[in-house]
Amino acid sequence: MTTVKTRNQPVWQIVARREIAVRATDKSTLIGTAVMLAVIVGVLGFTAWSESREKTYDLAYSATVSEAMVEGIAERASDIDEKVSIEPVEVADEDAARLALEEEQADAYLRATSDGWTLVSLEEADSDLRDVVDQAIQEIVLAGNAQAAGTSAAVLTEGSQVAFDQIEGDSELSAIRWIVGYALAIVFYFASIMFGMTLANSVVEEKQSRIVEMIAAAVPLRQLLAGKIIGNAVIAVGQMLIYVAVGLVGLSLTDFSFALPALSGAIGWFVVFFLIGFVVLSTLWAVAGALASRTEDLQSSSTPITMLLMVMFFGALYLDGIGEVIGSYVPPLSAVLMPMRLVEGTAAWWEPIIAVVLLLAFGVALVRLAERLYSRALLQTGGQLSLKAAWRLEE
Amino acid sequence: MLEVSGLTRRFGEMVAVDDVSFPVPSGGLTGFVGGNGAGKTTTMRMIMGVLAAHAGTVSWQGHEVTREDRRRFGYMPEERGLYPKQPILDQLVYLARLRGMSTAEARREISALLERFGLGGRMKDPLEKLSLGNQQRVQIIAALVPAPMALILDEPFSGLDPDAIDAMADLLREHARDGVPVVFSSHQLDLVDRLCDRLVVMARGRVVTQGTGEELRADSALRYRLVLDGDAGWVRDLPGLHVRDVSGPEAEIEVVSPGAEQKLLTEATSRGNVLDFHRVVPRLSEIYREVTA
């Protein structure tokens, strides 16, 4: 009989390597990643492009009174909004203006009325155009009225300036914090569902194809579970890092790049929470896979965990104030809420540390529970098992 | 030698396997037979440690079997399958690595076996692209790498075509000849008859009989077959015999009191010509039917 060398490589590593190799060469994973990257690059690219784009509007007029006003608006446009310029277009009368609008030779038509002006457009006019026209007309009319009253616009509006000053932070950064926080919650939610479903599928695949009995005869199921979760997590985190990196590089090319230094620490924490939260939820997905007997059962056996994810997701969206603070410590909700609070800048430096410890403790307890359910349910091939039935099974 | 002693397993109130003991000696094939639900699969799962035993032990070379020992047992479960979408070489290497082999060695051994089974050109094909017979061959290879210390095969012949049955039989004999204890379950009694040195018969969770072919035959009553040139109905009247069957000039009898068969022969020759008189050696399948009846 030939002797076989037993290498000292732990079994979970062999399992994890197979998971990674199978997933990394899987077409749907590769296509999914490419599509997601295209979306991120597309959104950021569009934002950067539309921010820097100069917009020119063709503004039609017919009467002589209108001509002076339209030219006045064109003159002032770049002072009001530097990315907007106005091109006056002369038309014969109102019918001609209407035709010009319909044929898209003009973006809007300015008409004098008895008590002011009307801006006519085919559909709702761009807000940029409306703002410029509105503000320019007010300035011009005010200046004219002031002159008629023997004074000047500057005198009339003197003392009416209102400035805004906030003691904490600045408003634009707050908005970005808010958006990034929600974006992270969404990323966590979708990544958990996507990778969780894949993991549950690969568990049920082994059960359905019956290969699991041969694996169970060779290695402890705990090692199989660990290998599958770690392999899956490596792929997920790898993909996440690519997205975050591309997202950050993209963001640095837009006008929002000023927000990056303030957010980089929080995003680092996000990766930590993501990793732990992801692994904890993965064990539940593996249990969902083990409870099913066929891929078709997966929908119903994974319902409890999709419910949990919904609670986490909507908790992240709707909790605020004291609720948000409490939620940011309660596992597994903390995996989403604490990074959001960090992005919002409302958490002190020691808060994420406590939340991580709590999340880890919760994770260890849950993994033990999940391991028992997983290893008992895995060899039961007669239909879908309930959680209770799986718990009561003997080895 | 692999030895099972006192294995017991209950599922709720039902005792699926009740105090089952038998040896699987090296150098021979042990056939494991019994109807559906007799407890064969449960016993084999306990031997492999996939299912925990409520009582009893499995020992290997005199000590209680360890996980490391089991890693080197070739196992073919009753419900079997592999990864449908993974290339066959890759998944066989993976399974061999789980059982402690290095990648290079696993590749070498598996490639050689795939060649032997005529699958040398299909190593990179996913399993699902293979015919069912070829998938079964891949499954067999999975049990044979790394070179097994013992083979525990649950229904290895089910679903095989006649050629594959012969190839499988050769393979099992080859391993048995090399000193590997082999136990396999089967419903095909003629096959068990042809292949096995030992037989373990289970019914309702218990071993009802076991032993080598000779031992089992020695336990059963002597049987003779008689062919006359006239009607044989009169044999029913002789003492010390149990008549199994009479039809026209032919009769099959079982000896109840030793020597009764000689009196039968004397009586027969005095009545006319005896065309045939010979001892009937029962087939294992007949013994099986008797003990499980």
Instruction: Give pLDDT tens digits for B164-200.
Output: 888 889 999 999 999 999 999 998 888 888 888 899 9
Residue A245, CA distances (Å) to A120, A233, A241 in order: 46, 18, 6
Q: Which two tokens stand for residue B235?
A: 């044999």
CA distance A34 to A43: 14
The count of C-alpha atoms lying within 13 angstroms of the C-alpha of A177, restricted to the half-sphere facing its C-beta, is 20
Residue of B nearest to A379 (CA): B50
Helices A260-291 + A171-208 axis angle, to 10: 20
CA distance B86 to A109: 67
CA distance A210 to B50: 13
pLDDT at position A369 over 90 = no
CA distance B179 to B150: 9
Pick the more confident residue, B82 or A256: B82
Q: Which residue, A347, A339, A282, A269, is CA-closest to A308?
A: A282
Interface test with A, best of B98, B128, B141, B151 (most A CBs within 10 A): B98
pLDDT at position A254 over 80 = no
Kindly report the average pLDDT of chain B as a whole number: 90
Identify the band that residue A395 occupies on the pLDDT scale cut at 50, 70 and 90.
low
CA distance A389 to A240: 36
Q: Please name the residue that has the structure tokens 């069912």.
A: B132
Nearest chain A CA: its distance from B123 CA (Å)? 16
Whether the predicted interface score ipTM is above 0.90:
no
Nearest chain A CA: its distance from B125 CA (Å)? 15
Identify the band that residue A132 occupies on the pLDDT scale cut at 50, 70 and 90.
confident
pLDDT at position A87 over 60 = yes
% chain A with pLDDT above 90: 9
Nearest to B95 among A1, A2, A214 (CB): A214
Across the interface, whether the CB atoms of A217 and B51 are under 8 A apart is answered: no
Q: pLDDT (tens digit, 9 = 90+) per residue, A95-115?
A: 888 888 888 888 889 888 888
Q: B119-127: long-range contacts (C-beta < 8 A, 24 or more apart)? A: B119/B88, B122/B88, B123/B87, B123/B88, B123/B89, B124/B87, B124/B88, B124/B89, B125/B87, B125/B88, B126/B84, B126/B85, B126/B86, B126/B87, B126/B88, B127/B82, B127/B83, B127/B84, B127/B85, B127/B86, B127/B87, B127/B88, B127/B91
**A215–chain B Cβ distance below 8 A for any pair:** yes
pLDDT at position B284 over 80 = no
Report, in this order, helix, strand and coil percent for chain A, each rounded to 5. Answer: 70, 5, 25
Nearest chain B CA: its distance from A206 CA (Å)? 7
Identify the band that residue B153 occupies on the pLDDT scale cut at 50, 70 and 90.
very high
Q: Which two tokens stand for residue A258?
A: 């000023």
Nearest chain A CA: its distance from B47 CA (Å)? 10
Please provide the DSSP assignment of B250-290 as one string.
EEEEEESSTTHHHHHHHHHHHHS-EEEEEEPPPPHHHHHHH
Q: pLDDT (tens digit, 9 = 90+) per residue, B196-233?
A: 889 999 989 999 889 887 888 877 778 899 999 888 88
Across the interface, whether the CB atoms of B79 and A210 are under 8 A apart is answered: yes
pLDDT at position B9 over 80 = yes
% chain B with pLDDT above 70: 100
Q: Which residue, B80, B89, B94, is CA-closest to B48?
A: B80
- DSSP-assigned beta bridge partners for residue B201: B33, B209
**A381–chain B Cβ distance below 8 A for any pair:** yes
- The pairing of beta strand A108-113 with beta strand B241-247: unpaired
Contact A277, A338 (CB under 8 A): no
CA distance B229 to B249: 6
Q: Does an H or E element contain B247, and which?
A: strand B241-247
Across the interface, whether the CB atoms of B95 and A218 are under 8 A apart is answered: yes
Please provide the DSSP assignment of B165-233 as one string.
HHHHHHHHHHHHHTT--EEEE-S-HHHHHHH-SEEEEEETTEEEEEEEHHHHHHHSPPEEEEEESS--G
**A220–chain B Cβ distance below 8 A for any pair:** yes
Q: What is the CATH number of domain A54-153?
A: 3.40.190.10
Q: Tell me if residue A243 falls in helix, strand or coil.
A: helix
Q: Tell me if residue B292 falls in helix, strand or coil.
A: helix
Give the number of beta-carbon pairs within 8 Å between A and B: 78
pLDDT at position A6 over 60 = no
CA distance A174 to A172: 5
Q: pLDDT (tens digit, 9 = 90+) per residue, A64-73?
A: 778 888 888 8
- DSSP-assigned beta bridge partners for residue B245: B252
**For residue B86, which residues of chain A lie inside 8 Å, CB to CB?**
22
pLDDT at position A230 over 80 = yes
Most confident of A228-232, A332-336, B236-240, B258-262: A228-232
**A295–chain B Cβ distance below 8 A for any pair:** no
Q: Is A21 exposed, middle or buried (0-12, 13-18, 19+ CB in 10 A)?
A: middle
* Average pLDDT for A182-201: 86
Domains contained in chain B, CATH given? 2-212 (3.40.50.300), 220-292 (3.30.70)
Pick the more confident residue, A3 or A356: A356
Most confident of A103-112, A158-167, A342-351, B149-158: B149-158
* Average pLDDT for A79-102: 86
Contact A271, A241 (CB under 8 A): yes
Q: Which two tokens stand for residue B167?
A: 């190839």
* Average pLDDT for A172-200: 83
- DSSP-assigned beta bridge partners for residue A55: A84
CA distance B165 to B168: 5
Residue of A nearest to B96 (CA): A218
Kindly report the average pLDDT of chain A as a whole number: 84
Residue A170: per-residue pLDDT: 63
Identify the band that residue A4 occupies on the pLDDT scale cut at 50, 70 and 90.
very low
Residue B261: per-residue pLDDT: 87
**For residue A213, which residues of chain B lie inside 8 Å, CB to CB?**
45, 50, 77, 79-80
Q: pLDDT (tens digit, 9 = 90+) per residue, A285-343?
A: 998 888 888 888 888 888 988 998 888 888 888 888 888 889 889 888 888 888 888 88
**For residue A394, which residues of chain B lie inside 8 Å, CB to CB?**
52
CA distance A53 to A82: 10
Chain B interface, Cβ < 8 Å to A: 45, 48-52, 67-68, 70-73, 75, 77, 79-84, 86, 94-95, 97-102, 105, 142, 146-147, 149, 178-180
Q: Which residue, B11, B287, B46, is CA-closest to B21?
A: B46
Nearest chain B CA: its distance from A202 CA (Å)? 10
Residue A133, CA distances (Å) to A55, A64, A137 in order: 14, 18, 6
Preceding omega of B282 cis (within 30 degrees of 0): no
Residue A5: per-residue pLDDT: 44
Across the interface, whether the CB atoms of B83 and A209 are under 8 A apart is answered: yes
Pick the more confident residue, A333 or A1: A333
Count of all residues that appear for chain B in the document: 293
Cα-based torsion angle of the residue sequence A234, A378, B8, B63 in order, rounded to the nearest 10 degrees? -20
Contact B121, B129 (CB under 8 A): no
**For residue B147, which residues of chain A lie inside 8 Å, CB to CB?**
1-2, 4
pLDDT at position A246 over 70 = yes
pLDDT at position B61 over 60 = yes
CA distance B56 to B9: 9
Report the b/e string of B195-210 with b at 16+ CB within 10 A.
bbebbbbbbebebebb
User: From the centroid of its chain, how far is CA A61?
Assistant: 44
Across the interface, whether the CB atoms of A216 and B50 are under 8 A apart is answered: yes
pLDDT at position A265 over 90 = no
